[in-house]
Amino acid sequence: MESFDPGQPLAVSLRAVALTHLDAAIESARAIATEPGPAIHAVRKRIKQLRGLLRLVRPGLGDRFTPLDDALRAVAHTLAPLREAEVLVQSVALLSREAGEPFQPLQAWAAKRLARKTAQRVPAALSAATLAGLEALRERVPAWHLDGDDTTILATGLARPVRQCRKGLETVRARRDIEALHDLRRQVKYHGMHCALLAPALPRDMAARIALANRIGDALGTDHDLADLVNRLARGGGKIAPKKTRRRAIRLARGIGKRLQEQAIADARILFRERPKALARQLDGYPDARLVRHA
């Protein structure tokens, strides 16, 4: 994952990292026409990293943050239906591996749904629309600038998702619903991205922290995908699969999800024992950041 260069003004590093992500996303977008599944996943991953990047420097962007974030979200939104259909196929495959049986009616249903979504959205047209959105964003990057002291911007940006994760942990203790868990996952992922961006500048090794954040994010992501599958199976009735098959799949998915939730929450308690201000204070010595002018 890309990182900031602590020897450069923050705005310079911001633009460099943003261009790296956008160029990679544009390259993947060109492949949507021929390989929609992996290409869409790659584009959406880069967009998430870009949104995480913007959140870290949000204090220095001010009112400029929301239009940029909205533009990235709009590009991701156009790709969501196909990605969700592919994730459904993957969720059924996970159940099949766990159960040691193929769940053939569910596999057939998920595969047909993916084929239908692909036909509805015409990958070539989707590729062109995605490229247009990403290239328009790329043209704006050279004008990106930040207001304020680099160290203050980063300390504030780093602390925000940590604070939200600590609140999120309290929320999921009170009500472990799908939205509360999804919100927690999103903030954990942002925190992991921020640690990776700042790793060269922080005085302690961030590798273990980043790995733990990724593990939490992956666990809660799979749990969310399984919860979505459960909801679809509960609503879909016999047109998806026989009742016995659906009941077995729902029971298995809920069991896996519960284990993943317990693992993720235990890991998150470890990751966020430290208060936001204590973590942010490590940036007091952000190398050279206070000795150079913003670009």
SS3 letters for the chain?
CCCCCCCCCHHHHHHHHHHHHHHHHHHHHHCCCCCHHHHHHHHHHHHHHHHHHHHHCHHHHHHHHHHHHHHHHHHHHHHHHHHHHHHHHHHHHHHHHHHCCCCHHHHHHHHHHHHHHHHHHCHHHHHHHHHHHHHHHHHHHHHCCCCCCHHHHHHHHHHHHHHHHHHHHHHHHHCCCHHHHHHHHHHHHHHHHHHHHHCCCCCCCCHHHHHHHHHHHHHHHHHHHHHHHHHHHHHHHHHCCCHHHHHHHHHHHHHHHHHHHHHHHHHHHHHCCCCHHHHHHHHHHCCCHHHCCCC
| Between 119 and 22, residue with greater pLDDT | 22
Specify the CATH class of 10-291 in words.
mainly alpha
Per-residue confidence (pLDDT) for residue 220, from 0 to 100: 98
Domain boundaries, the chain: 10-291
Q: Looking at residue 282, what is its pLDDT? A: 72
**What is the pLDDT confidence band of residue 174, given thresholds at 50, 70 and 90?**
confident
User: Which pLDDT band, with edges at 50, 70 and 90, does 216 fall under?
Assistant: very high
pLDDT band at 285 (very low <50, low <70, confident <90, very high): low
Q: What pLDDT, on the 0 to 100 scale, is given for residue 286?
A: 60
> Structure pTM?
0.92
At residue 292, the pLDDT reads 34
Higher pLDDT, 105 or 295: 105
Q: Write out pLDDT tens, residues 99-129.
A: 998 899 999 999 999 999 999 988 999 999 9
Which of residues 287 and 166 earns the better pLDDT score?
166
User: Model confidence at 284, in pLDDT bands (50, 70, 90)?
Assistant: low
pLDDT of residue 287: 52
| pLDDT at residue 293, as a whole number | 31
Name the percent of the chain lying above pLDDT 90: 82
294 has a pLDDT exceeding 80: no
Kindly state the average pLDDT of the residues 211-236. 97
